[in-house]
Structure 1
Amino acid sequence: MNNRFFCLLTLFFILSCETKEELTFEPLSISKKECQDCSFVTINVPKAIGNSKLANTINIAISEEIISWLSFNETGKANNIKEGIDAFITDYNELKNKYPEESMPWEATINGDIVFDNGQILTIQLESYLFTGGAHGINSVRFLNFNKLNATELYREELFTSKETFTSYAEEVFRTQEHIPAEANINSTGFMFETETFYLPENIGYTDDGLLLYYEPYEIASYADGPITLLLPYKEVNSYLKLAVTP
């Protein structure tokens, strides 16, 4: 009986140490430019160190997001960041061979930072600038949220106890912020919500100041309007969140 108790105590101690093991990061910096007038890619993002489930979950999520930004040819799928970079450069070179006088070099710049970590929730913000021709490049932002305790990525639908209830609350705050009367159409002041119905943005991230709703350019307004954001203090939204955040 004593031996069994000792074994259980030892196992508990081991599991506790593994749970408390701190997650650490190192910078991942990749740059590729083959010539002065060639397309180029520059990437600077955090990389989780180690082979834990959480580290692998984070690194895979970052890699997949970067690959999706760099992918223009749907016939092939890059398996890692290096392949994604090579595919980006190759797609431009193929275009240049077809239209040598009309093809300006492409550019991809992707940066990432840890913007929130309270021991339970970790949020990494990725920002990209992509130029693949046209009048201007495109800036994009992605928030990757993770539950550190169970080593999983938190997708938008998993953040709320009731997405519908939170959406109704967010619409009230949005209307107040943007001076849209409660009885007016959501697009009455110039926004471009599809079906003229308020909806949450694709990007929602935890920050030190509150839950950030981030609408990309083009998502609900013109490109000239830039991103539209709504910052909600945790004390106001904790009742809607599955994982409450202590302010």
Structure 2
Amino acid sequence: MKNSIFLLVLFVLTGCSQQLVFERKQYNSSYSPSYTTSYNSATIKMEVLEAKNDENINKIIFDNIKELSSFIDSQNITINNYNQLTKGFVETYKKAKNNTPESKIKNWDFEIESNIEYETEEFVNIGINYTSSYGDASGFGGKRSLLFNKLTGNQLKMDDIFTNTKAVSKLVEAKFRAKYKVNNSIPLNQQGYCFETGSFYLTQNIFFNIEGVKFLYNINEISSYEKGAYEVFLSYQEIDNYLLIK
């Protein structure tokens, strides 16, 4: 009897220890030696999720945030963690400022926030929101989706999510054409779009919620900056037969 109780307690404790738990952390940095409304300052604010017990997930989230920060001078600055990333942002700004006549350069601002978009016993959907403006260049912003298997910590790819990616792509394309009034007889790229392959394809930004699945094309992904983002939503009733995760 004592052995049975011991095994039961051990099973419960082991199960609890394997639960995927996230904590929210902030990493900020700024530079403003002679602050004015529009010039001579740099500010970076990051509010990120970190798994307490899964370094693989943490690495993937960090690598994606680092990729979104590609304008930072990573060739001359070591960036292996969030503190180095925030420092790199400020150092890159200082370098740009020193190369500008009269040391006058418009403010740089970069903000990132990661959140749990949706979660089941099987998987978790992390969303990364980002906005940026720097110098005279046009600012950018968007949202990136990451899907993880909660038991293994592995990132889920298309073939891990859908039974038939081509069939899902056709469903999304049909909704896309209907929503945005796309002429079926004219190639997409002759109608103001810029699909790299010349034909429609699924975005990597797939977001789950309680009602269904959203496919998000960020600004500049398939069309010009001025036209903004595009999104297509499929209810679970429409897509359930193709889902490998639920």
Same-fold status (TM-score > 0.5): yes
Q: Which category describes the TM-score, using the shorter chain as reference length? A: 0.7 to 0.9
Contact 2:207 2:213 in 1 (8 A): yes
Task: State the one-letter code of the partner of 2:61.
Answer: I
Q: Residues 215 and 237 (structure 1 numbering): CA distance in 2 closer, same or farther, change over 3 Å?
A: same
**What is the correspondence of 1:18-33 to structure 2 with a 5 Å cutoff?**
18-21=14-17, 22-33=19-30
Partner in structure 2 of residue 96 of structure 1: 97
Aligned residue in 2 for 1:3: none
Inter-CA distance 104–187: structure 2 relative to 1 (3 Å threshold): same
Displacement of 1:139: 0.5
Match of 2:194 in 1: 192
Describe the superposition over 1:174-216 as per-residue Cα deviations: whole angstroms up to 9, x where unpaired: 2222222444423454333234300112312222232111101
Q: Find the aligned partners of 2:22 and 2:47 in 1 and give their Cα distance.
A: 12
Tell me the distance in 2 between the aligned counterparts of 1:155 and 1:132: 33
Partner Cα separation in structure 2 for residue 82 and residue 44 of structure 1? 12
Amino acid at match of 1:136: S
Residue 73 of structure 2 is matched in structure 1 by 73
Percent of matched pairs sharing the same residue: 25
Q: Is the 8 A contact 2:26 2:48 kept in 1?
A: yes
Question: 2: CA distance between counterparts of 1:83 and 1:180?
Answer: 45
Alpha-carbon offset, residue 98 of structure 1: 1.1
The 2-side partners of 1:192 and 1:228 are apart by 13
**Secondary structure at 2:130's aligned position in 1?**
strand
Counterpart amino acid of residue 163 in structure 2:
T
Report what 1:166 is aligned to: 168
Q: Distance between the aligned counterparts of 1:106 and 1:156, measured in 2? A: 35
Q: How well do the aligned residues superpose, as a CA RMSD in angstroms? A: 2.7
Query: 2:189 and 2:99 mapped to 1: Cα distance?
Result: 42
2-structure distance, mates of 1:213, 1:231: 6
Question: Alignment partner of 1:41: what SS?
Answer: strand
> How far 1:63 moved relative to its partner?
1.8
TM-score under structure 2 length normalisation: 0.83
Query: Which has the larger displacement, 139-148 or 56-65?
Result: 56-65
Q: What is the match of residue 116 of structure 1? A: 118
CA separation of 1:211 and 1:20: change in aligned 2, threshold 3 A: farther
In structure 2, how many angstroms separate the alpha carbons of the residues matched to 1:14 and 1:185?
61
Match of 1:43 in 2: 46
Q: Does 1:127 align with 2:112?
A: no
Deviation at 1:230? 0.8
Q: Does the residue aligned with 2:155 lie in a helix, a strand or coil?
A: strand
Question: In structure 2, do the counterparts of structure 1 residues 155 and 103 end up closer, same or farther at CA, with 3 Å as the change threshold?
Answer: farther
Measured in 2, the distance between the counterparts of 1:89 and 1:58 equals 27
Q: 1:170 to 1:15 in 2, by over 3 A?
A: farther
After superposition, the Cα gap between the structure-2 partners of 1:70 and 1:190, relative to the gap in structure 1 and judged at 3 Å, is: closer
Count, aligned residues: 235
C-alpha separation in 2, matches of 1:234 and 1:208: 9
Measure the CA separation in 2 of the matches of 1:212 and 1:14. Answer: 41
Structure 1 residues 201-210 or 114-123, which shifts more? 201-210
Aligned to 1:138: 140
1:33-53 CA-partner distances (Å, limit 9, x unpaired): 1323421111112233x3x23
- Structure 1 unpaired stretches of 5+: 1-5
Q: After the TM superposition, which of the residue ranges 229-238 and 188-197 deviates more from structure 2?
A: 188-197
